[in-house]
Chain A
Amino acid sequence: MEALVAIVIAVLVSCGVYLLLRARTFPVILGLTLISYAVNLFIFVMGRLRSGAPAVIGSSETYADPIPQALVLTAIVIGFAMTAFLLVLSLRARAELGNDHVDGGAAIGEKPSKPVRPLEEDEV
């Protein structure tokens, strides 16, 4: 079972890395999602794989380590929030930059971007 889980994690990570290296924001977000799935699995596996062992002492002969399960929950929540944020951000970037390239479609030889002007107090 360990080998199978390891292979699953490896496949997820390699697909994730492949997608991360794409130039468009949507595949990048998918890649990050795949990597975070792989990471969550990895954390879970770090508590060792056992079947029929609940994470409660006394309910059965053996029990599973509850800490990685708690860590996975935290990681899932944080990963979910961050992905949601990134989705909204990439939509905003798509609207402001006019394309979904991760570099904002800056072509080689394009004029360098202008410095950002600070907003005045009453500007909305």
Chain B
Amino acid sequence: MNHAILLPIILPLVTAILLILLSGRRRIIRTISLLSTIALVAVSIVLLMQANDGQIRLYAPGNWAPPFGIILVLDRLSAMMLAVTAVLAFFSIAYAVRGHDAPGDRLHGMVHFLLVGLNGAFLTGDLFNLFVFFEILLISSYGLLLHGRGVERARSGLHYVIVNLIGSALFLLGVSALYGITGSLNMADLGDKMSKLDPADAPLAATAGILLLVVFGLKAAMAPFYFWLPRAYAAASAPVAAMFAIMTKVGVYAIIRVYTQIFGDNAGELANFAWFWLWPIALVTLVMGLLGALSARELRVQIAYLVIVSVGTLLAGIALNREAGLAASLYYLVHSTLICGAMFLLADLILRQRGELLDHIAEGPRLRQSALLGTLFFIGAMAIAGLPPFSGFIGKLLLLSAAGANDDTLVLWLIVLGGSLITLIALSRSGSMFFWQTTDQIESAPAADKGALLAVVGLLCCVGAVTVAASPVLEYTQAVARQLLEPGAYFQAMQQFRVR
């Protein structure tokens, strides 16, 4: 067995425990935290290169042969998600260690626990284990969100926790109903059992499937389950909000995994039933996100709504249920995660130079580093709106060409193209308020920390790299899509798998 598969879970786990034990020694904590994320990036790149040969690697932590024990699965999709998470975590931590992890030093330990949950969720091949990793990432995210004082944090945290607890209950109902019908929790095995399902059990299995869709939709913040997101993300501290950019994508990942693997082409009567629901929901999510971005009063709320827009775009591509659509969506996923993270960090740098106004979109004093932050904001806004030459443009172009031009997809064309325009209008409103429509006085805030600036620039450079290297990245996401749409290969890999 290839023990490296375990590293993305073990490494942050050990780091997190260590950081909690070291509580109080800020310098050491920051160093270890940063070094650990660098190691995580290295590990995930190694795994990405391994997975790129198209082979599906399995790991049985308890040494029980599947489908009975829990297995971890490394395929192209999970390797890609691991890499994106690690890169985002590195830049978030790099931003946090420059004095933005106040108060205290507990933030680092919780971020690493969050990474345990995220990486575990991406790697696991077992539905109940997915639930457990979801809970790990959720409880760390509760802690991270509430970290530090603030009335608004308590308020939005309460909503976030309650909504997610209801989601967990529904998740358990869905999982156990599936177990009751099929007698299995292994995703590949479930996919196989679905193809041999007794037609009398099909409605029950569909109910379980819809319950799971609701749960994953809640995590992904799709309409109508996104109301918790904007306030929570706007209230979180900057490195946490940047880390949360991947949290919605976990929901999207789970949707892709479950509805291609379990309810995919081979699922008999229930084959691809989720896409019928997902398509209109994705379009509504897009529209609601855009309206929210237009009406936001604060920059962080605006970016949070743009996260919802990106989720809508992703889900629309997935709901097309074509290889090209899935590949385009996955490309867009990489882009949108990185750029949303970068924008949350940038918003923090901007609001620190605006005195009491913070990120409220209103006329205020001129920023101390108006030109520098303005340039970064301009680049970020172009990328997030999907204007050429940035990767958002490539992602949207691929999505629209995958959708093709017919009556069904006409509305997608309208929303995606109109959406770019609306995003641009919303961001130019806030951008011109921050950088141009200012009073003559300059706020006496300290200049932005160089290290923190580097973290933002680094994330923006990653977006740039996804643009420049669009061809290899796209080749990879196309390979991911091909692998996903052939769930048989995964099942075969599992049957041939022998524990030692």
A residues in contact (CB < 8 Å) with B:
20, 25, 28, 32, 35-36, 39, 42-43, 45-48, 65, 67-68, 71, 74-75, 78-79, 81-83, 85-86, 89-90, 92-93, 96-97, 102-104, 106, 112-124
CA distance A39 to B170 in the complex (A): 8
Name the residue in A93, A97, A116, A118 with the highest tally of chain B Cβ atoms < 10 Å from its Cβ: A116
Q: List 6 A-B contacts (CB under 8 A).
A: A32-B162, A65-B183, A78-B132, A92-B146, A113-B151, A116-B150
Q: Is A118 within 8 A of B165, CB to CB?
A: no
Also in contact, A93 and B176, with CB within 8 A (given A36-B169, A124-B103): no
B162 → chain A closest CB, angstroms: 6
B172 interface hit (Cβ, 8 Å): yes
Assembled-state Cα–Cα distance A112/B166 (Å): 27
Chain A residues near B235 (CB-CB < 8 A):
116
Is the C-beta of B4 less than 8 angstroms from some C-beta in chain A?
no
Task: Please name all residues of chain A whose beta carbon is closer than 8 Å to the beta carbon of B269 when the two chains form the complex.
Answer: none
Q: Which residues of A contact B448 (CB under 8 A)?
A: none
Given contacts A32-B165, A103-B155, contact A118 B237 (CB under 8 A): yes
When the two chains form their complex, are residues A119 and B102 in contact, meaning their CB atoms are under 8 A apart? yes
Q: Looking at the complex, which of B257-265, B352-360, B378-386 is the stretch in contact with chain A? A: B352-360
Partner of A89, one of B102, B157, B166: B157
What 0/1 pattern do residues 129 to 154 of B give for CB contact below 8 A with A? 00010010001001000101111111
The CA of A95 and the CA of B103, in the complex, are separated in Å by 19
A121 to B172, CA, bound (A): 41
Does the CB pair A92–B162 fall under 8 Å? no
Tell me if B351 and A118 are in contact (CB < 8 A).
yes
Cβ–Cβ contact B351 & A39, under 8 A: no
Q: A32-B165, A42-B172, A116-B152 are in contact. List 12 more A-B contacts (CB 8 A).
A: A45-B180, A71-B128, A81-B139, A82-B165, A86-B162, A92-B146, A93-B155, A102-B159, A104-B154, A106-B155, A118-B348, A119-B149
Closest to A82 in B: B165
Q: Which residues of B contact A89 (CB under 8 A)?
A: 142, 146, 154, 157-158, 161
**Which of A81, A90, A121 lies in contact with B158, CB distance below 8 A?**
A90
In the bound complex, do residue B146 and residue A115 qualify as a contact, i.e. CB atoms below 8 Å apart? Answer: no
| Complex: A118 Cα to B448 Cα, angstroms | 14
Q: Let me know if B219 is at the binding interface, CB within 8 A.
A: no
B128 touching A74 by the CB < 8 A rule? yes
Whole-angstrom distance from the CB of A49 to the nearest CB of chain B?
A: 11
User: Contact: B172 with A39, CB < 8 Å?
Assistant: yes
A119 to B153, CA, bound (A): 13
B168 touches A82 (CB 8 A): yes
Dominant SS at the A interface? helix
Contact A114 B152 (CB under 8 A): yes
CB distance from B1 to the nearest CB of A (A): 24
Is there an interface contact between A39 and B153, defined as CB atoms closer than 8 Å? no
Which residues of A sit under 8 angstroms from B102, Cβ to Cβ? 118-123
Interface centre among B169, B180, B185, B237 (most CB of A within 10 A): B169
Q: How big is chain B's contact interface, by range?
A: 35 or more
Distance to closest chain B CB from A45 (angstroms): 8
In order of increasing CB-CB distance, the 7 nearest A-B pairs are: A46-B180, A119-B102, A43-B176, A104-B155, A121-B99, A93-B154, A115-B358
Closest residue on chain B to residue A44 by CB atoms: B176
Query: Residue of B at shortest CB range from A65?
Result: B183
CB–CB B166/A46 < 8 A: no
Q: How far is the CA of A65 from the CA of B176 in the complex (A)?
A: 13
Contact B132 A46 (CB under 8 A): no
Complex CA distance for A116 and B359, rounded to whole angstroms: 9
Query: Given known contacts A81-B139, A86-B161, A115-B351, is B103 in contact with A42 (CB within 8 Å)?
Result: no
A124 partner residues in chain B, CB cutoff 8 A: 103-104
* A36 CA to B176 CA, complexed, in Å: 13
In chain B, residues 336-379, which have Cβ atoms closer than 8 Å to a Cβ of chain A? 348, 351-352, 358-360
In whole angstroms, how far apart are the Cα atoms of A42 and B173 in the complex?
7
**Quick one: closest A residue to B300, CB to CB?**
A115
Contacts A20-B166, A89-B161 given; indicate if A75 touches B177 (C-beta within 8 A): no
Closest to B104 in A: A124
Residues of A within 8 A of B176 (CB): 39, 42-43, 46, 68, 71
Q: Output the least CB separation between B261 and chain A (Å).
A: 20
- Distance from B48 Cβ to chain A, minimum over Cβ atoms (Å): 31
Q: Which residues of A contact B234 (CB under 8 A)?
A: 115-116
Best-buried of A25, A67, A118, A120 by chain B (most CB within 10 Å) = A118
Known: A36-B169, A39-B172, A115-B351. A92 touches B154 (CB 8 A): yes
Closest CB of chain A to B321's CB: distance in Å? 30
Report A28 CB to chain B, min CB distance, Å.
6
Whether B158 and A119, one on each chain, are in contact in the complex, defined by CB atoms closer than 8 angstroms, is: no
* CA of A120 to CA of B348, assembled, Å: 12
CA distance A47 to B180 in the complex (A): 6
Please give, as numbers and ranges, the residues of chain B lying within 8 Å of A43 by CB-CB distance: 172, 176
- Kindly provide the distance from the CB of B449 to the nearest chain A CB, expressed in whole angstroms: 10
CA of A38 to CA of B235, assembled, Å: 33
Whether the Cβ atoms of B148 and A82 lie closer than 8 Å is no
Give Cα distance in the complex from A89 to B155, angstroms: 10
B249 smallest CB distance to A (angstroms): 23
Q: Are A123 and B162 within 8 A (Cβ)?
A: no
B402 at the interface (CB under 8 A from A): no
- Residues of chain B within 8 A (CB-CB) of A85 are 139, 142, 161
Please tell me which one of the listed residues B139, B152, B173, B300 contacts residue A39 in the complex, with CB atoms under 8 A apart.
Answer: B173
Shortest distance in angstroms between A67's beta carbon and chain B's nearest beta carbon?
A: 7
